[in-house]
Structure 1
Amino acid sequence: MTTTAEAIELIMHRGSTLFDGDDPAGTYRRLARLTHPDTAGPQGAAAFARLSDLWRNRGTIRSAAGVYSTATLAFEGDLANLYAVPDGHLKLVRDPACNDLMAREAAALRRIAERGDPRYLPYVPRLVDSFRHKDGTVTRRGNVLATTAGGLHSLAEVARRRPDGLDPRDAAWMWRRLLVALGLAHRAGVVHGAVLPEHVLIEPHDHGVVLVDWCYSASEPGERIPAIVPHRRDHYPAEVLARETPGPYTDLAMAARLMADLMRDLAPPALRRFADGCRLSSPRQRPDDAWKLLGELDDLLHRLYGPRKFRPFAL
Structure 2
Amino acid sequence: MRFAEAVARIERAGSFTDLGDGEAAYRAYAKAVHPDAVTDAQSAAANRAFAQLSKLYEERSRRVAVGDIADLVTGDKGLLKIPRSPADSDLMGAEAAALTALREKGDPKYRPYAPKLIDSYVHEDVERKRRRVNVLERLVGFVPLSHLRKKIDPRDAAWMWRRLLVGLGWAHRAGVVHGAVLEEHVLIEPEQHGLALVDWCYSGPHVKAIVAGHRDHYPPEVLLEKRTTPATDIYMATKLIMRLMQEPPRALKQFAAGCTYDKPRMRPQDAWRLLGELDEVLDNLYGPRTFRPFTI
Q: Of the candidates 206, 209, 227, which is equivalent to residue 245 of structure 1?
A: 227
> Where does residue 141 of structure 1 map in the other structure?
132
> Where does residue 28 of structure 1 map in the other structure?
29
TM-aligned CA deviation for residue 13 of structure 1: 2.5
Task: Work out whether 1:309 is the aligned partner of 2:295.
Answer: no
TM-aligned CA deviation for residue 258 of structure 1: 0.3
RMSD: 2.7
Q: Of the candidates 282, 287, 294, which is equivalent to residue 268 of structure 2?
A: 287
> Where does residue 184 of structure 1 map in the other structure?
170
Q: Write out aligned runs for 1:38-53 (5 A).
A: 48=46, 50-53=48-51
**Cα distance per residue 1:113-166 (max 9 Å; x no partner):** 00011110100010011111111212222111115x4221211112x2x2xx21
> Where does residue 131 of structure 1 map in the other structure?
121
The answer to whether the 8 Å contact 2:2/2:32 transfers is no
Local SS of the residue matching 2:225: coil
> Unpaired segments of 5 or more residues in structure 1?
61-68
**Cα distance per residue 1:218-257 (max 9 Å; x no partner):** 0xxxx31210111111000011111342100000000000
Q: Hey, what's the Cα distance between the residues in 2 that align with 1:56 and 1:313?
A: 41
- TM-score scaled by structure 2? 0.88
Instruction: State, as a whole percentage, how many aligned pairs show the same letter.
Output: 49
Q: Write out aligned runs for 1:77-92 (5 A).
A: 77-85=67-75, 87-92=77-82
TM-aligned CA deviation for residue 174 of structure 1: 0.4
Letter in 2 for 1:306: G
User: 1:30 and 1:100, CA in 2 relative to 1: closer, same or farther beyond 3 A?
Assistant: farther
> Unpaired segments of 5 or more residues in structure 2?
none
Task: Work out whether 1:116 is the aligned partner of 2:114.
Answer: no
Letter in 2 for 1:199: H
The answer to whether the 8 Å contact 1:70/1:84 transfers is no
Q: Write out aligned runs for 1:71-220 (5 A).
A: 71-85=61-75, 87-136=77-126, 137-147=128-138, 149-158=139-148, 160=149, 162=150, 165-218=151-204
Q: Write out aligned runs for 1:212-291 (5 A).
A: 212-218=198-204, 223-264=205-246, 266-291=247-272
TM-aligned CA deviation for residue 52 of structure 1: 3.5
User: 1:11 and 1:197, CA in 2 relative to 1: closer, same or farther beyond 3 A?
Assistant: same
Local SS of the residue matching 1:183: helix
> Where does residue 66 of structure 1 map in the other structure?
none
